[in-house]
């Protein structure tokens, strides 16, 4: 089967690597001439809305998917005229606007922070009166890894935040003093079959995910997260892998956002689950049976931001695995990740201490971990 992927970053790269063992073939569209997926699959270099490139992909592929949710939904509609697209253009559109996404959560009875739309400085002042401070001002579109966000803690923060973000439609959300950040990954196949991965605890710095650990032993919250994911998968007639990020506050899940694609917090599944998130996404969109999502033991994932640690030192840690993305080092850039699988939690903690030091962190920086 021929699979087209729109977006050529590390997620596309890992999809391709997972798909070759299934006998799948790939073609990838990306604007960058040096997109890292080009090292492992044929690259169509062009803008996401390049109609000639989109038509060429649609003529070749039997199904098309995405590694990046901010691809123009119009591009997905062009593809849909000729070929199956999963997730659909409608799903892309729904997840590209935080206002619609929040409305969808409310429709599905999934708790969210209180929020208000903002299109002017006057509306921002009115929204603050409704939401109260502290609050988070976000662009409605094109935000990821902490981009397009400003935290407002005092009235003095309002004007600078507006100057930084006020040229586009915005959303003001109440700040959640969360105890944990967690995420859930779920897959749905073409026939409606579903599979759910264990709940994952995540730790961010500067808006970028640094550490994930799974499974997170919060069984009641895990069941709640699976139920929310099931509602969204069914409501959206979703096909593929869906990720939902939550805050844990006073024993409840508060939905932050969702991503219609494989997700950074699921990288542990490559070595740590019976079937990786990448393989299950491909199984889903190709119409194949979904694989088991059982964790093979306690796992952790560390992002490598800006540079990679010494490979030999990483591989000397029992149970550790090294993933380089083939990207040039650059401050703030995700250039690889490390995964760790252990026989028990004590062994995981010991290995994690060693790996954290190799990427410049300490266990103490992240506080209590599930």
Among 310, 307, 299, 302, CA closest to 337: 302
Say what the pLDDT of residue 48 is: 94
What tokens does 251 get?
């024993």
The listed CATH number (3.40.1010.10, 3.90.1010.10, 3.40.50.20, 3.20.20.70) that belongs to domain 2-85: 3.40.50.20
Say what the pLDDT of residue 306 is: 94
CA angle (53 as vertex; 84, 61 as ends), nearest 5: 30
The annotated binding site for ATP is made up of: 98, 138, 143-149, 173-176, 181, 204, 256-257
Single pTM value for the model: 0.93
Question: Which CATH superfamily hosts domain 114-174?
Answer: ATP-grasp fold, A domain (3.30.1490.20)
**Where in the chain are the domains?**
2-85, 114-174, 180-366
Q: What is the pLDDT along the chain (370 residues), one digit of tens a residue?
A: 999 999 999 999 999 999 999 999 999 999 999 999 999 999 999 999 999 999 999 999 999 999 988 888 889 999 999 999 999 999 998 888 999 999 999 999 999 999 999 988 888 998 898 888 999 999 988 665 556 788 999 998 988 888 888 778 898 999 989 999 999 999 999 999 999 999 999 999 888 999 999 999 999 999 999 999 999 999 999 999 999 999 999 999 999 999 999 999 999 999 999 999 999 999 999 999 999 999 999 999 999 999 999 999 999 999 999 999 999 999 989 999 999 999 999 999 999 999 999 998 877 777 655 5
What tokens does 106 get?
């409310």
Q: Tokens 């199904």 — which residue?
A: 63
What tokens does 334 get?
């995700």
Say what the pLDDT of residue 143 is: 60
Under 8 Å between Cβ of 28 and 9: no
pLDDT in tens, 73-121: 889 999 999 999 999 999 998 888 999 999 999 999 999 999 999 988 8
What DSSP designation does 358 have? Answer: H
Among 9, 10, 44, CA closest to 26: 44
Say what the pLDDT of residue 19 is: 98
Say what the pLDDT of residue 68 is: 86
As assigned by CATH, the class of the 180-366 domain is: alpha beta
R_g of the chain, CA atoms, integer Å: 20
Say what the pLDDT of residue 149 is: 83
The annotated binding site is made up of: 98, 138, 143-149, 173-176, 181, 204, 256-257
Under 8 Å between Cβ of 209 and 182: no
């Amino acid at each position: 089967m021929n699979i087209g992927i729109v977006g050529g970053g590390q997620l596309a790269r890992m999809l391709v690597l997972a798909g070759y063992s299934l006998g799948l073939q790939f073609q990838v569209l990306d604007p960058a001439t040096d997109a890292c997926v080009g090292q492992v699959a044929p690259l169509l270099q062009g803008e996401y809305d390049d109609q000639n490139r989109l038509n060429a992909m649609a003529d070749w592929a039997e199904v098309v998917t995405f590694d990046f949710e901010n691809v123009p939904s119009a591009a997905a509609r062009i593809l849909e005229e000729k070929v199956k697209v999963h997730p659909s253009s409608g799903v892309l559109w729904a997840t590209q606007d935080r206002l619609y996404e929040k409305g969808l959560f409310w429709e599905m009875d999934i708790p969210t922070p209180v929020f208000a739309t903002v299109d002017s400085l006057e509306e921002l002042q009115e929204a603050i009166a409704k939401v109260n401070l502290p609050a988070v001002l976000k662009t409605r579109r094109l935000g990821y890894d902490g981009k397009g966000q400003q935290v407002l803690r005092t009235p003095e923060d309002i004007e600078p935040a507006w100057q930084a973000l006020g040229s586009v439609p915005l959303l003001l959300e109440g700040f959640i003093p969360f105890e944990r950040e967690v995420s859930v990954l779920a897959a749905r196949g073409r026939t409606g079959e579903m599979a759910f991965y264990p709940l994952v605890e995540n730790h961010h710095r500067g808006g970028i995910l640094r550490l994930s650990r799974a499974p997170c032993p919060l069984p009641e919250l895990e069941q709640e997260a699976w139920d929310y994911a099931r509602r969204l998968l069914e409501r959206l007639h979703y096909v593929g892998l869906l990720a939902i990020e939550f805050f844990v506050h006073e024993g409840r899940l508060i939905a932050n956002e969702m991503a219609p694609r494989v997700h950074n917090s699921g990288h542990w599944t490559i070595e740590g689950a019976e079937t990786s998130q990448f393989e299950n996404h491909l199984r889903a969109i190709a119409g194949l049976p979904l694989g088991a999502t059982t964790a093979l033991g306690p796992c952790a994932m560390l992002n490598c931001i800006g540079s990679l640690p010494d490979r030999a030192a990483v591989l000397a840690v029992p149970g550790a695995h090294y993933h380089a993305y083939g990207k040039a080092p650059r401050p703030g850039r995700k250039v690889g990740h490390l995964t760790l699988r252990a026989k028990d939690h004590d062994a995981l903690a010991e290995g994690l201490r060693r790996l954290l030091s190799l990427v410049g962190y300490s266990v103490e920086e992240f506080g209590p971990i599930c």
